[in-house]
Structure 1
Amino acid sequence: MATLTDKEIEALKIENFIFHVVHHRADDPILFDDTPLSTFEPFFIDRIKETLKGNKFSFAEISQVKAKLNSWEKGESNFVDISKSLARQFHRLGDKRMKSGVLIVIGLITGAKKFYSLIKYDSEKVVTFETKGAQAILQAVTNNFTESPKALQKSALIDLDSKDSEVVIIDKMSRSGISDFFKEFLGVERLRNSKEMTVDLVKAIKKTVRTHLGDLPPAITSKVAEKVVEIAKKRKDFEVDEFFTDFLASMAKMKSERPLTKNWKA
């Protein structure tokens, strides 16, 4: 997944697409044989691109999801049957706290590469209207797909051909990682532990700071690691956007407090 270039991301195409209704307070999911994508491919491609911002995991050897997708890739099972099996597994692991929605199963290609996407979309009630002459008739719609970030509850983008069978995951139940439910369903584990990720983060920020030494105050350029730890400790979970907002805000504060010199670029 790390080798997916911007060009490859823009070239993503959906080859296989289907969804099934899950967590609707019944013993079994509602399964379909076909859900034509029609003209809505760009909508779902955008949801998949959102997933690329997620956290990286790898499949455990005992992962049922990995085994089922491998069976599909080898031609041992067809797409629809595999999707139904995944929906049953996903539905069985749920409980009454889970909102009704759909499990979307997608096969993707970009160039010669193939990927798989599993998305849990929650059903959200929205109010629409239709017009009859000069009258507006309100209608409640529950079964829908919206662009709301809250609706896309869980999403996994899977690369079976990568070295570690890499999985990129977004799980709204665990903002910086993965919920126990989704972890059990997918059968995944962290690609790297917290210590390794912290070391990589510090290295990346140090490299960026070195590139812009002339534009940064000494308090930042001389104490990068300390500043990263200080900011990280203030938040329970690590999130990229929030971390860099805090980091850049601290830089801006130091810049405003430091008197200008001939060597300082405002």
Structure 2
Amino acid sequence: MITLSADQLASLSITRFIFHVVHHGEDEPTFFDELEIGDFEDFFLDRARCILKGSSYEFNPQSQVREHLEAIGNESYLFVDRSRQLAVNFHSHGIDDKRIKKGVMILMELKALGKEFFAIIKYEHEQVLRYRNDGKKVMLENVMDTFTKSPDAMQKAALIDMSEETPVVMVLDRNVKDGISGFFQGFLNVRRKKNQKELTESLWNVVKDTSKKHLDELPPEFVGDVQQRTEEFVQSRDNFDDSEFFDEVFAGYANDELRDTYRSCLKNAEIEDEPFYLDKQASNGSKKRKLKTAEGITVYFSEKALSTMQVSYGKNGEKDVLIIESERIREEM
């Protein structure tokens, strides 16, 4: 995923800007020249920053989009020509789909403290009514070719970090929550860096790693409690939201230190601010749970065996007690 520091976000600037009209009912896009963004840079920088909330993908080896962007990076004079080739490709992917509205494909080159990015945005034209008045007489005008701040107007967008050896593609697609439409995926020719199963399994690892760093300061029942809550969350939710997950799974234990560890573990697992569908069949990363005593005894057990165990955590200096009921006990070599 693409993560920018506060300093990088503050320094983010647009160095090249161009757009072409697409999906307007013609066989070819309408091409325009490169333009100086001038006083409108902040408007489009805000649009680019929004893409950071999207999902992480990587290019397939045959991606023409990657080829065009690499060419521009190597030879800056190709910016206009390659932007037009991108527009032709973009236009062709939606030319027969009546659901896709007229709009423009924007190509921006951006920089932030030594890092180089490209943004590709499909901006749909929204109907805007403008009025003019001559005294008390008012006249309405229908304006279609507009850029608005409406989130729905920026239908599809990709922010590409070309400074990495393997370029990272952040995708925001308004038509598919936590994913990408076939049309946009076909144009970009990308694949998800992790599938839904791998992303959900990463979530289990985040819980495990967060718990390990706070075992000494939290009550003994903490680990079993958050594991059960994680399972309940995965089974009862369709989508992962990191803030919602933390509030539900770590409720009652949350503090600033625990939250900081959680967010650090999310970042290490590359799922920080990453929305995705939860795979209810994904493994929790360990088939068995375990209890470990201060005296060095470790007990491994499955969820099915939980009903045969009684754990009492001592308070005010009393010892903890573990009782296991079994049909048979045997010592193994």
Q: TM-score range by the shorter chain?
A: 0.7 to 0.9
Task: Tell me whether 133-142 or 25-34 shows the greater mean CA deviation.
Answer: 133-142
Structure 1 residue aligned with 2:112: 110
* Structure 1 residue aligned with 2:166: 164
Contact 1:25–1:96 (Cα < 8 Å) also in 2: no
Q: Identify the residue that residue 35 of structure 2 maps to in structure 1.
A: 35
Q: Which runs of 5 or more residues in structure 2 are unaligned?
A: 255-315, 317-333
The one of the two structures with greater contact order (alpha-carbon pairs below 8 A, sep at least 6) is 1
Indicate conservation of the 8 Å contact 1:23/1:29, yes or no.
yes
Residue 130 of structure 2 is matched in structure 1 by 128
Matches within 5 A, 1:1-266: 2-75=2-75, 78-94=78-94, 95-205=97-207, 222-236=224-238, 238-240=239-241, 244-245=243-244, 248=247
Structure 2 CA distance for aligned equivalents of residues 15 and 195 of structure 1:
39
Letter in 2 for 1:120: K
**Shift in Å, 1:24:** 0.9
Distance 1:113 1:55 in 2: 20
CA distance in 2, matches of 1:218, 1:134: 75
SS for the counterpart of 1:78 is: helix
Root-mean-square deviation (Å): 3.0
Instruction: Name the CA shift for 1:76/1:252 in 2 (closer, same or farther; >3 Å).
Output: closer
Partner Cα distance (1:216, 1:144) in 2: 55
- State the alpha-carbon separation in 1 of the partners of residues 229 and 130 from structure 2: 49
**Which letter maps to 1:80?**
V
CA positional deviation for 1:129: 1.9
- What amino acid is aligned across from residue 119 of structure 1 in structure 2? I
Change (3 A) 1:2 1:84: closer
Deviation at 1:49, TM superposition (A): 0.6
Given the superposition, is the C-alpha separation of residues 224 and 107 from structure 1 closer, same or farther in structure 2, using an over 3 Å criterion? same
| 2:20 maps to amino acid | H
Deviation at 1:214, TM superposition (A): 11
Q: Report the Cα offset of residue 206 of structure 1.
A: 5.1
2:268 matched residue in structure 1:
none
How far 1:207 sits from its partner (Å)? Answer: 5.2
What amino acid does structure 2 have at the position aligned with 1:22? V
Q: CA deviation at 1:140?
A: 1.9
For 1:249 and 1:134, how far apart are their aligned partners in 2? Answer: 57
Q: Distance in 2 between matches of 1:90 and 1:189?
A: 17
Partner SS for 1:223: helix
Note the C-alpha offset of 1:232: 3.6
In structure 2, the CA distance between the partners of 1:204 and 1:96, relative to structure 1 (3 Å rule), is same
Deviation at 1:36?
3.3
Q: Which aligned segments of 4 or more residues in structure 1 are displaced greater than 4 angstroms?
A: 205-221, 249-255
Offset at residue 194 of structure 1 (A): 2.0
- Quick one: distance in 2 between partners of 1:216 and 1:148? 45
C-alpha deviation, 1:157, in angstroms: 0.5
Post-superposition offset of 1:252: 6.3
Residue 226 of structure 2 contacts residue 249 of structure 2 at CA under 8 Å; is this kept in 1? Answer: no
Q: Which amino acid aligns with 1:244?
A: S
Q: Structure 1 residue 3: deviation in Å?
A: 5.0
Instruction: Please tell me the residue identity of whatever aligns with 2:21.
Output: V
Q: Which amino acid aligns with 1:82?
A: R
Pick the structure with greater CA Rg. Answer: 2
CA deviation after TM superposition for structure 1 residue 51, in Å: 0.3
TM-score (norm 1): 0.83
> For 1:239 and 1:90, how far apart are their aligned partners in 2?
30
Aligned equivalents of 1:108, 1:186: Cα separation in 2: 19
Scaled by the length of structure 2, what TM-score is found? 0.67
How far residue 225 of structure 1 moved from its aligned partner, in angstroms, is 3.9
- Of stretches 110-119 and 34-43 in structure 1, the one that deviates more from structure 2 is 34-43
Count of residue pairs the alignment pairs up: 254
Q: What CA distance in whole angstroms lies between the structure 2 residues aligned with 1:249 and 1:223?
A: 11
**Share of identical aligned residues, percent?**
39
- 5+ residue gaps, structure 1, are 256-262
